[in-house]
Amino acid sequence: MPISVSVPMVLLPDAAAAGSLFSAPVSGVAVLVALVTVGWVVRAVHSWRRLRHVPGPALARWSSLWMVKRLSSGRFHEAMCDVMEEYGPLVRIGPNELTCSDPDVLRHMSAARSLYTKGEFYETGRIIPGYDNIVTQRDDVKHKALRAQMTNAYRGTSAFAYEDGVDRQILQLIFLIDNKYISEPGSLRPMDLAAKIQFFTLDVISDVSFGAPFGFLTEDKDLFQYNEINASAVPVMNMLQAMPWLSNVVYRWPLRLALPSDGDSVGFGRLMGVAKSYVDARLRSGSKPNPDMLQSFIESGMSHSDLIQHMFVQIVAGSITTSAAIRHTLLALLTTPASLSRLQTELAALNLPLSQVIPAPTAESLPYLSAVVLEGLRMWPPTTGLGCKQVPPGGDIICGVHVPGGTQVGHNFSGMMRAREIWGEDGGVFWPERWLEMDEQERKEREAVVELAFGSGRFRCLGRRLAGVEVGKGVAELVRRFDFAVVEPQRPMKSESGVFWLGSDFWVRVTRRL
């Protein structure tokens, strides 16, 4: 039987006062810690029970740390392939997060009449705290209205033709390489192809958006330290992917003071300032309309703040994803000589003059170029983020498993694009010929799977057509005009995946072909 012993304590008045001052706060902190701990345990157990029937890594059942570690590793695409191989098409990767690699499920979640909505992660992409854009808007009605305002510009049905802007920047890229980076026998002028491709996509999107490029290619440098700051921001985005609730902390004072603003001289804030200056200039009385995307948005009735937000969004989102697609496709060609030679032979048969850029319809009609582009997109989907959708309140059956409402279901693009059930045993190999050997129906079905990398239904990427033009024409013109040799074959390019791909140090030796 436990014995309780009471020991009297005599304190001087001052000491007693000090004891009362310190014991209360210490007790309060202890109680608070205990309550927080109990609350976390209760919540963790509840989360575990809700999805305990879905397979996945043990740590992911209890904590977001599994996802944080994989997102921070720079090899997130490999982690997604690995969990699909080990656990199947539906995998638990967090307390309330699943990932799915079944194409039919991904289409179902985004279908026109689907009850799924965008997941919590999308809110972390707000440019202005409390204000949504086409990416962050989770309300279906408002999202549909925004898409309606933007659709004409992306379809090219407005007064401008965006292919002209792509051609201008392709010629500028060729001019830069021709005049600065051609190596001769006995001399080496190494060029970081990853950086030049990023410059190209940034100048394309600014050209078609505002009617004038930023000038990355003309200056041949990282203007506004954009690429540098973009790379430093990705770890934050990775953390928000795993724990979206952190955005509620980031957007509060005083941390919100550190967010980009249009008054910054570098990085995202500088781009916001540039977008604002173009919008303000175009809205001034007496300004001359230009045949570009900005004008199309203005004519659709967008507000001033919406114009600034959406011009910024398309610059960032459009340049990051498209540059990743071009980089990876070029790297695959440079390391697969037979594929590169076959593509160059197909392009040479066109007999186009150097002054002419291959027209988009011609590029799309070339069988092997089309196969190369599709294979590049399949092997390395332009985005590796999850793009979670939220299960409707009544729950749903996914891959034969009941998933409760409120669960976040991510798109496992990386796993889906290499799944043996879809692509066969060689799904992890870059082999454009697979597209030429399929019959018409099979190719149609497989192309539809690759297209899922750009979303589908209500959430299909509005810039898909523009991205296709950039990738097809960009890859074709570079390999048609130049030969590239990787400077360091053992480390051809630094490539990291998280929410987005980051690429750098793609050093090549360039010589002219024509």
Residue partners of 40: CB distance under 8 A and separation at least 6: none
Residue 510: count other Cβ atoms within 10 Å of its Cβ. 21
Q: Would you say 482 and 336 are in contact if contact means Cβ atoms under 8 Å apart?
A: no
B/e letters for 420-457, b = 16+ CB within 10 Å, e = fewer, are eebbeeebeebbbebbeeeeeeebeebeebbbbbbbbe
Q: Would you say 419 and 399 are in contact if contact means Cβ atoms under 8 Å apart?
A: no
Residue with tokens 């790379």: 231
Q: Would you say 382 and 324 are in contact if contact means Cβ atoms under 8 Å apart?
A: yes
Q: From CA 99, how far away is CA 386, in angstroms rounded? A: 7
Looking at the DSSP bridge assignments, the partners of residue 484 are 510
DSSP assignment string, 375-441: HHHHHS-SB-S---EEPPTT-EEETTEEE-TT-EEEE-HHHHTT-HHHH-TTTTS--THHHHHS-HH
Residue 85 gets the label, from left (phi > 0), alpha (psi -120 to 50) or beta, of alpha
Q: Which amino acid is at 130?
A: G
Q: Would you say 116 and 411 are in contact if contact means Cβ atoms under 8 Å apart?
A: no
Residue 76 gets the label, from left (phi > 0), alpha (psi -120 to 50) or beta, of alpha
B/e letters for 191-203, b = 16+ CB within 10 Å, e = fewer, are bbbbbbbbbbbbb
Q: Is 100 annotated as a binding residue?
A: no
Q: From CA 204, how far away is CA 162, in angstroms rounded? A: 9
Q: From CA 350, how far away is CA 367, in angstroms rounded? A: 13
Q: Would you say 229 and 502 are in contact if contact means Cβ atoms under 8 Å apart?
A: no
Sign of CA dihedral 190, 193, 194, 198: positive
Residues annotated in a binding site for heme: 461
Binding residues: 461
